[in-house]
A and B are shown apart, each in its own frame.
Chain A
Amino acid sequence: MSVLEATPLVRKTALNAVHRQMGAKMVEFNGWEMPVEYPAAIGCGIVAEHMAVRTGVGIFDVSHMGDIRLAGREALAAVQHISMNDASRLAIGQAQYSALLYPQGTFVDDVIVHRLGEDEYLLVINAGTREKDFNWVRDNTRQFDCKVEHLSDDFTQIAIQGPRAVDVLQKLTDADLSAVKFYWVTRGTVCGLKNILMGRTGYTAEDGFEIYIPPDETTSARVWFAILEAGKEFGAVPCGLGARNTLRLEGALSLYGHEISDTINVWEAKLDRFCKMEKPDFIGRAALEKAKAEGVKKTLVGLEMVDRGIARDGYKVLDDAGQEIGYVTSGSPAPFLKKNIALAYVPPAQSAVGTTVKVEIRGQGVKAQVVSTPFYKRPKKS
């Protein structure tokens, strides 16, 4: 009998041993074993981690995120063809939120497009859609003079998030971070590592940076602990996927498979401002034009629970009479806002701010209200 080399079903980041050493609770997420929260004994737990990011700084291992590089003479045309935002507006060093669409105007994935050079773009994509995204990008850019590379395993990606994130990272780099605006990138030496990419981006509705370092375990662990040490004076804590989810939910940021998917289109997801219909043709545009003329049947809204109860992913949304009208895509207690909030799809007729609906929780209709989103908006710097 021959022994076949088995492909591991669950993947691990280079920081896996570090998370375990720190006592993190590990869970499987989109094929990755990731920390969901760190222990109360080191001042962590979802609520503490969430609050640290809102008021100080938190550190996340986001190495499960994927990366696709497009480079070459027609890289811009290729990016324009496969994404809905207008990449021609990007200066070198600038980034934008965008999405890859199917011809039906629904989502392959949402992405951050970074323009790294004259003809060089980096797409940062979701963990669960890495292979699908790469195949999609490669197959749909063949007509362009442009090289497409899958760099997902080339980086350990660490997110440093919160109002003090800039202070922490500044201690570890020679780059002048005060010159880097939100959704811009820079390069510099970080912890002695040369030419490290640092983006002022994140998924927490807070200021912060995401850095891309070499993926070996030794370097990854060294930088991770250096950031925590540098952040000590600002109350830095390691943060897991639990806090990442509650933070993005307070900011009403979409999560693939929840607010956006291959069956939800751009208009329904209310991502209009990132979809530039006036730019040159792109995959999904024609269907979106048609969908716009027809009008949407469901639309994404923010809900706040009025009566006692927590809306959870997948719960039904009912009208006042108890008729099912929609569903919750993401629901949770909001640790900073101290409210129970949710994102949900409902018919446009019931989407106005102030509309009262119910969320079915264990068979009971519990009162909720449509509120404006984002639930949380970070304070402007004075």
Chain B
Amino acid sequence: MSYPTDRKYTKEHEWITADGTIGITIYAQDSLGDIVFVELPKVGAEITAGKPFGTVESVKAVSDLNAPVSGTVTAINDALATAPEQVNKDAHAAWMVKIKVKDPAEMNALLSAADYEKFVSEEAGH
């Protein structure tokens, strides 16, 4: 599995691009299984690094979406309300929200693609 290098990752399995687009990783969608419900904040909402800002539900599980960094929501992916399975099909394209990042320095604390890949291979090995 190779993860795109144009973005950063969290240990909670979210990704974020430099322009503030956020989604969940292919590893996350695979762990969840068939995704049936995505609950997102409204445009204008403030999200806080490390805190939940939404929910993803699969047939069997409920999972929080955690904010990789703090910011203000500028757009949400409405398509996921009617087609949440897009996340299973292409997790790295099916974004959840776009935010205006409050402090770009917070991005430095996140994982690179290589570090994330190492992290999930260790987690999967447990």
Binds A, one of B1-9, B33-41, B66-74, B115-123: B33-41
Q: Which residues of A contact B34 (CB under 8 A)?
A: 45-47, 335
Residue contact A36 to B60, C-beta cutoff 8 Å:
yes
B63 in contact (CB, < 8 A): no
Alpha-carbon separation in the docked complex, A77 to B72 (Å): 71
Contact of B60 among A40, A242, A362 (CB under 8 A): A242
| Number of A-B contacts defined by CB within 8 Å | 37
Distance (whole angstroms) from the CB of B124 to the closest CB of chain A: 11
Given A40-B88, A310-B57, A362-B55, also A46-B33 (CB < 8 A): yes
A246 in contact (CB, < 8 A): yes
A312 in contact (CB, < 8 A): yes
A56 in contact (CB, < 8 A): no
Please list 19 pairs of residues, one from A and one from B, whose beta carbons are closer than 8 Å in the complex, sorted by A's number. A36-B33, A37-B60, A45-B34, A46-B33, A46-B34, A46-B59, A47-B59, A242-B60, A308-B37, A309-B37, A310-B37, A310-B57, A310-B62, A312-B62, A332-B59, A333-B57, A333-B59, A335-B59, A362-B55
Residue contact B59 to A246, C-beta cutoff 8 Å:
yes
Which 9 A-B pairs have CB atoms at the shortest separation, nearest pair first?
Answer: A47-B34, A46-B59, A333-B36, A242-B60, A45-B34, A333-B59, A46-B34, A310-B57, A46-B33
Alpha-carbon separation in the docked complex, A39 to B58 (Å): 15
Distance (whole angstroms) from the CB of B64 to the closest CB of chain A: 10
Distance (whole angstroms) from the CB of B80 to the closest CB of chain A: 13
Q: Which residues of A contact B57 (CB under 8 A)?
A: 310, 333
Alpha-carbon separation in the docked complex, A335 to B59 (Å): 8
Residue contact B36 to A310, C-beta cutoff 8 Å:
yes
Distance (whole angstroms) from the CB of A195 to the closest CB of chain B: 38
Q: Which residues of A contact B36 (CB under 8 A)?
A: 310, 333
A residues sitting closer than 8 Å to B (CB atoms) are 25, 36-37, 40, 45-47, 242, 245-246, 308-310, 312, 332-333, 335, 362
Number of interface residues of B (CB under 8 A): 12
Residue contact B62 to A242, C-beta cutoff 8 Å:
no
Alpha-carbon separation in the docked complex, A187 to B37 (Å): 45
Residue contact B55 to A45, C-beta cutoff 8 Å:
no
| Closest chain A residue, CB of each to CB of B59 | A46
Q: Which residues of B contact A36 (CB under 8 A)?
A: 33, 60
Residue contact B59 to A242, C-beta cutoff 8 Å:
yes
Residue contact A46 to B60, C-beta cutoff 8 Å:
yes
- Most chain A beta-carbon neighbours within 10 Å: one of B31, B34, B58: B34
Contact of A37 among B33, B37, B55 (CB under 8 A): B33
Q: Which residues of B contact A242 (CB under 8 A)?
A: 33, 59-60
| Closest chain A residue, CB of each to CB of B61 | A312
Distance (whole angstroms) from the CB of A331 to the closest CB of chain B: 11
Residue contact A45 to B33, C-beta cutoff 8 Å:
yes
Contacts A46-B33, A242-B33, A312-B62 given; 14 further ones with Cβ under 8 A? A25-B33, A36-B60, A40-B88, A45-B34, A46-B34, A46-B60, A47-B34, A246-B59, A309-B37, A310-B36, A310-B37, A310-B57, A332-B59, A362-B55
| Closest chain A residue, CB of each to CB of B58 | A46
Distance (whole angstroms) from the CB of A309 to the closest CB of chain B: 8
Distance (whole angstroms) from the CB of A42 to the closest CB of chain B: 14
Q: Which residues of B contact A246 (CB under 8 A)?
A: 59
| Closest chain B residue, CB of each to CB of A308 | B37
| Closest chain A residue, CB of each to CB of B34 | A47
Q: Which residues of A contact B55 (CB under 8 A)?
A: 362
B48-102 at interface with A (beta carbon < 8 Å):
55, 57-60, 62, 88
Q: Which residues of A contact B33 (CB under 8 A)?
A: 25, 36-37, 45-46, 242
| Closest chain B residue, CB of each to CB of A46 | B59
Q: Which residues of B contact A310 (CB under 8 A)?
A: 36-37, 57, 62
Distance (whole angstroms) from the CB of B21 to the closest CB of chain A: 24
Alpha-carbon separation in the docked complex, A161 to B36 (Å): 25
| Closest chain A residue, CB of each to CB of B31 | A25
Alpha-carbon separation in the docked complex, A67 to B37 (Å): 39
Distance (whole angstroms) from the CB of A302 to the closest CB of chain B: 18
